[in-house]
Structure formats: structure tokens, C-alpha cells
Amino acid sequence: MNWRRAASCRIVDVARFEFHQDPPPLEGMDKAERMLNLVVRSFGLVLMVVGLIVALTVIFSAWSLYRSPTHIESFAQAVEQGSHLDLTLSRATQNGQQQLDTSDRAGLAPPARTADTPDKTPPASFRFSYFMAWLIAILLLLLVGRLAIAAVRTGGELALYDVQVKKLARALLEERTRTKGE
């Protein structure tokens, strides 16, 4: 008799016993299952570490933008070069100013000027691309942060994959024994 195999015993009647031996494990399948389990857990740990690193990078980037908001200037210039938002808005403002000047010449009285009012209004320094750059940067930080959190969560689930499967198997066995007892 092979003593390595576990034998279970249960009492059926007072006079009769039944012995059940577990089937011999398949060596090749057992090794493949262990190897797959190791690969899944390793991948989960790597994914969790990468997610943590990315999350910390997002936090440091957001803190850097908070401490020195002038770093967004280069991003705002890139937004302006790609979209020409400021140029379009300045042209629309100039067209509106030209229409006002034409209506002044058409018979409307110009506004009264005082000593405090300069003859020419200074050009507006409002740059819409700067605000768009901030919006895009914040949205990108939120998106990358969300992906990092998802990577940490998924990596943790993969690293604890075997534990979850064992809990599920235990719960199924408990349910089965409870339904047999009824």
C-alpha cells in the first residue's frame, strides 16, 4: 500500500467502513499548474510595482506643477502651435475692434476721454492656450492616475489569485455539505 497517498475514512454503518483513496496526481499537469501559478503571481507583482511607481510619478508631477506653475508654459506653447487658439481669438478681437471703429466713424459719438483714460487700450495678454494647457495637464494626470490605481488593483488580485480560488473552493464545499445535510 502506498503510504504517500492520503486515505480518507468515513463511517457508513456501525459495521461497515469505506476507504477512499485520492487518485494519483498527474505529475506533468501538477508542474504546469504550479508554473502557471508562479507566472501569474509574478506578473501580478510586477504590475503592482509598476502601478505604484506610476502613481508616485503622477503625485510628484502634480506637486511640481503646484509649486512652480510656470512649468506649464512650454506645454501652453505646444498647444498654441498645434491649435492656434490665441491667434484665432486675437483675430476675432481685432475684427470686433475694427467693427467698433467703423461704427464710430459712421456717426456715432466716440466715448468721452478724460485725462485718466489713455488714447489706446493696451493689447490684452489673455492667452486661452495657457488655460487649455492647464485643463489638458490636469485631465492627463487624472487619467494616468486612474490607470495606475487600476494596475495596482489588478496586480494585487493576480498576486493573490491562488488565495481567492481556494476561498471560492472552500465556499463551494461548505455550500455543498450544507445542502446535502438538509
pLDDT band at 3 (very low <50, low <70, confident <90, very high): very low
What's the confidence (pLDDT) of residue 101? 63
Q: Which of 26-30, 50-54, 171-175 has the lowest mean pLDDT?
A: 26-30
- pLDDT tens-digit map of 56-87: 999 999 999 999 988 898 888 888 888 888 88
Candidates 68, 55, 47; CA nearest to 155 is 47
Are the C-beta atoms of residues 131 and 88 closer than 8 Å to each other? no
Asked if pLDDT for residue 166 goes beyond 80, the answer is no
How far apart are the C-alpha atoms of 161 and 155, rounded to whole Å? 10
- pLDDT tens-digit map of 49-62: 999 999 999 999 99
User: Considering Cα of 113, then 118, then 123, then 124, what sign does the dihedral take?
Assistant: negative
Taking phi over 0 as left and psi of -120 to 50 as alpha, with beta for the rest, 113 belongs to: beta
How far apart are the C-alpha atoms of 3 and 21, rounded to whole Å? 10
Which neighbouring-strand residues pair with 8?
Answer: 20
- pLDDT tens-digit map of 82-141: 888 888 887 877 776 666 666 656 555 555 555 554 544 445 567 888 889 999 999 999
Asked if pLDDT for residue 142 goes beyond 80, the answer is yes
Which neighbouring-strand residues pair with 20?
Answer: 8
